[in-house]
Structure 1
Amino acid sequence: MAAIVKVLHNEDRHKMKASPFVGLVVDETVDILEHRNLVMFTTTVSPFDGQTSITFLGSFELPAGEAYTVADKAVEVMHSFGVPTMKITWLSSDGSSLMADRLNGLGTKLKSLCPLLTEMHCVPHRSSLLPSESVINIEYVRKYETTVDAVYRLYSNFKGESNSLRELQNVLDLCKIDLEGPKTIHWTSIFPAVEAIDSSWPTLVLLLESESERSPVAFGLCEELKKFQFVAFTKILLDVLPIFQQLSHFFQIEDFDLSILKPIVSATATNLQAQKSTSGHNFQEFLNEMNEHPREDRENESRFYYKGVELASCSKVHLKNFEHLKETYLESMRGNLLDRFPSHVLEAVNSFSTIFNPKCYPQSLDNISSYGINELNFLLQTYSRVVVSERALNDFPLFKRIVFSLSQLSFKDLCIKLVYSNSEMHELFPDFAVLAAIALALPLGSVLYKKINRGRELMKRSQWRYAKDASLSNLMKIAIDGPMINEFDFALATEYYESMRESSFIMAQVK
């Protein structure tokens, strides 16, 4: 196995050495023994045909203690593969600690070593683009997740007794949720789980009431589920989570249209801002469906019912307090979205799209003279270390006319033509070829998404058996990047294996 992986890593080194630029993807996992591991991928661009590749570098354990940082490990790994820090142009990271403390986080520390680096955090996080850690500091979010977690765990113990709640079990199967696993489940990131709780709510309350006499846990959950705030927050999640699900979907498209990124992020932020005052459809519908009945025992007070169940802790005061919670939650989500896609990143991506996407060009040559000048200046300033600005500006008028004539090409097709070292466009426009290579190294698309999820799945399945075993990384490498049997160089693997045996034999003799 080690020999096979050595062959694969040897190919990786050749790819990264040949690639003009490299995109880096870093994911964080925690195994059953609470060891932190970095799962690292790279995106490379071949100068021989312009095609991109997604490569799994491995799973690397982080030593305990703060003296040795995530950035240290990332740089160490890249150096071990012979990748100069000047080549690293993009960073996409995931995991709670990687996304936390943006001023001292992974990207900030790598930026000092990688002068061309731009952070582009669009790796889909499980079932939501944004990790729930972004809002976990809101007190009620913790309580809500604890409640939902307890519902699923309690239900799993007597699931056979209630077929009407089969939808809850379907969520566990669909989302591959292991309730016995060591990792915390962030239910506010899993839209199907929230949907199931909402649709099963009346039945779930009745079931918990029937279990209350023999189960203190069921009694406590029943009381919590009947509270206005629990139902109302569920409705808020039903309004908010689909927005991020849709946003996440865009980054899983293989030939993602970069020109729509800035409008999508802007529209999402605007939507969240609007919901602070107008409320979403599900929450508004919930308020409309509540029935108010005056209390006979207390003057000027009312009981509120929803779907035949009396809501607890429901009054004008509670509604006002919930409005504050809703606004805080939505602002937190909006703020995290803008942190993940800051304005300079959106400007960079938009500039690449403006220059290299033929479909964004004006419909007439008469309007092309002033097109894209500001965007090109932005890119030339950002990447001034690797382009000749004056030459690029002089070449731009002719470049635009040629791109205009290639209107049938996509963004990726044009970039490939420029990066391909034997193409006429590569020779004619060397600075645009450099910028196109940087654009192609951007970690995006369905292949990356599938490989990252494959890595997470393998880590989850294997961590019990290989909790601190280096062979896990080798197994993952073969499973994620291993070629078809008829394409693999077994002769080279045998050569590596024999050299490893000889080395081990010599070391044994020395000892």
Structure 2
Amino acid sequence: MAGLHAVQTALDQSVLNPIEPSSTRWLSMEASVRRLKDTFVSVLISLEREGEERGDAKAIGLFHLMSTYRFISTMLLLCDLLPHVSNLSKALQASDFEHSLVKPLVSSTVSTLRQLKTVDGENLRSLPDLLDTLEKSDVTVKQRADDHDFFTEHVKGKYIDRLMSNIEQRFPSEDVGLLSHFAIFDPHRMQVNQTADYGQEEVKSLSEHFLQKPDQPNVTADAVNEWTNFRNFAKDSVLKQPDLKAQSIIDLLCTKSVAQHAFPHLSKLAKIYRVLPCHTADAERTFSQLKIIKTVPRNRLNQASLDGLIRIAVDGPPVHEFDYQSTVQRWAQKKNRRLCRK
């Protein structure tokens, strides 16, 4: 690492360390590839120097691999592709993610990848400049006559095809389309769309998929009728609230007993929407907080204290928004406490 830092300093570059990708956190791949691209010239020079001066076999092998046209072009291709896939993954992991957005997000990502198959991205277009920089730095890039055609046909094209296929298999169009139907519960859409048939086809599709049973043939028709009544109910109640939120209608159908009795089928659909497992990021965040809170020195935390601390860390307000004064006052008023006077 010291040799890399010395080369970066000599080249008047920022002193940056390589980022090792994690096998369990695949999003780290983007940061790793980006860092390699940003430090690529200094890394190659450092590897070549280590191989020549110290006879380091690993450094020699890495230099021969990384100084090829195919490796460099593949690295730049990943710099163009990975941000789009990473952004899709991050959007799906948001704690307040709306299921209705799955379809447009997946569709736009696949369309962007398909476009990058025919039109080089910004990083891949910079390949000639990077090769020129390496040549000026006395780094010889090994290139065969057919490398460009081989990369275009057998690396770039096939990799993007497999990537798009993998995304489409993970998000089948019929399932993604069904999730998008839940958008009818968005109160802002209900305010804008006042047509008489708004949401009827979506409720019908959702009911047929989630609620319809052989011994209850009228469930779908009942749900559609409920929807007509519920729209009038929401217009006179929920939609008039000043602090209207995207989840207001879902919360009403899930938590208010009056709404659950008046609209039983829509209430079931709302509860199904609440528990649809779009991602496991929230559970993973909780386990991460558990590791931070229950450390080896704090191994005697009882279950109640641990549960409270995790709830505060996961669901609590930001530190700068918490009202410490009122909390201390409430705590002091719960019972008479002995004050330590000195």
Pairing of 1:138-157 with structure 2 (within 5 A): 155=1
Is the CA contact (8 Å cut-off) linking 2:47 and 2:60 kept in structure 1?
yes
Pairing of 1:186-265 with structure 2 (within 5 A): 190-213=29-52, 214-265=55-106
1:18 matched to which residue of 2? Answer: none
Name the CA distance, whole Å, in 2 between partners of 1:452 and 1:160.
36
Name the CA distance, whole Å, in 2 between partners of 1:455 and 1:279.
40
Name the CA distance, whole Å, in 1 between partners of 2:29 and 2:168.
21
Query: Residues 372 and 318 from structure 1, CA distance in 2 versus in 1: closer, same or farther, beyond 3 angstroms?
Result: same
Once the 2 structures are TM-superposed, how far is the Cα of residue 361 of structure 1 from its aligned partner? Answer: 3.0
Q: Given residue 17 of structure 2, which amino acid in structure 1 is its aligned partner?
A: L
Query: Residues 268 and 484 from structure 1, CA distance in 2 versus in 1: closer, same or farther, beyond 3 angstroms?
Result: closer
Taking structure 1 as the reference length, the TM-score comes to 0.50
Is the CA contact (8 Å cut-off) linking 1:455 and 1:480 kept in structure 2?
no
Is the CA contact (8 Å cut-off) linking 2:47 and 2:62 kept in structure 1?
yes
| 1:396 paired to 2:188 | no
| 1:377 paired to 2:204 | yes
| 1:323 paired to 2:152 | yes
Is the CA contact (8 Å cut-off) linking 1:419 and 1:436 kept in structure 2?
yes
Name the CA distance, whole Å, in 2 between partners of 1:234 and 1:385.
50
Deviations 1:221-260 (A, max 9, x none): 1111110111111111111111122112212333223332
Which of 232, 245, 251 is equivalent to 1:410? 245
Query: Residues 209 and 480 from structure 1, CA distance in 2 versus in 1: closer, same or farther, beyond 3 angstroms?
Result: farther
Is the CA contact (8 Å cut-off) linking 1:187 and 1:193 kept in structure 2?
no
Once the 2 structures are TM-superposed, how far is the Cα of residue 186 of structure 1 from its aligned partner? Answer: 8.1
Query: Residues 188 and 377 from structure 1, CA distance in 2 versus in 1: closer, same or farther, beyond 3 angstroms?
Result: closer
2:332 matched to which residue of 1? Answer: none
Which of 410, 430, 438 is equivalent to 2:272? 438
Q: Given residue 45 of structure 2, which amino acid in structure 1 is its aligned partner?
A: L
Pairing of 1:19-34 with structure 2 (within 5 A): none
1:483 matched to which residue of 2? Answer: 308
Query: Residues 231 and 277 from structure 1, CA distance in 2 versus in 1: closer, same or farther, beyond 3 angstroms?
Result: same
Name the CA distance, whole Å, in 2 between partners of 1:479 and 1:329.
50
Deviations 1:107-151 (A, max 9, x none): xxxxxxxxxxxxxxxxxxxxxxxxxxxxxxxxxxxxxxxxxxxxx
2:124 matched to which residue of 1? Answer: 283
Deviations 1:262-321 (A, max 9, x none): 1111000001111111121111222466459xxxxxxxxxxx948764321243x11000
Q: Point out where structure 1 has 5 or more consecutive residues left out of the alignment.
A: 1-154, 178-183, 293-303, 466-473, 488-511
Once the 2 structures are TM-superposed, how far is the Cα of residue 421 of structure 1 from its aligned partner? Answer: 4.5
Aligned-residue CA RMSD in angstroms?
A: 3.8
1:8 matched to which residue of 2? Answer: none
- Specify the structure having the higher radius of gyration (Cα): 2
Aligned with 2:205: secondary structure? helix
Name the CA distance, whole Å, in 2 between partners of 1:384 and 1:192.
44
Query: Residues 190 and 457 from structure 1, CA distance in 2 versus in 1: closer, same or farther, beyond 3 angstroms?
Result: farther
Name the CA distance, whole Å, in 1 between partners of 2:228 and 2:80.
47
Once the 2 structures are TM-superposed, how far is the Cα of residue 162 of structure 1 from its aligned partner? Answer: 6.0
Name the CA distance, whole Å, in 2 between partners of 1:486 and 1:279.
47
Per residue, is there more helix in 1 or in 2? Answer: 2
Q: Given residue 330 of structure 1, which amino acid in structure 2 is its aligned partner?
A: I
Name the CA distance, whole Å, in 2 between partners of 1:400 and 1:235.
52
| 1:348 paired to 2:178 | yes
Aligned pairs, number: 293
| 1:274 paired to 2:101 | no
Q: Given residue 209 of structure 1, which amino acid in structure 2 is its aligned partner?
A: E
Q: Point out where structure 2 has 5 or more consecutive residues left out of the alignment.
A: 313-342
Deviations 1:141-178 (A, max 9, x none): xxxxxxxxxxxxxx5x9677667585225x35xx7x5x
2:167 matched to which residue of 1? Answer: 337
Taking structure 2 as the reference length, the TM-score comes to 0.73
Is the CA contact (8 Å cut-off) linking 2:51 and 2:60 kept in structure 1?
yes
Query: Residues 273 and 236 from structure 1, CA distance in 2 versus in 1: closer, same or farther, beyond 3 angstroms?
Result: same
Once the 2 structures are TM-superposed, how far is the Cα of residue 401 of structure 1 from its aligned partner? Answer: 3.1
Taking only the aligned residue pairs, the percentage that are identical comes to: 22
1:44 matched to which residue of 2? Answer: none
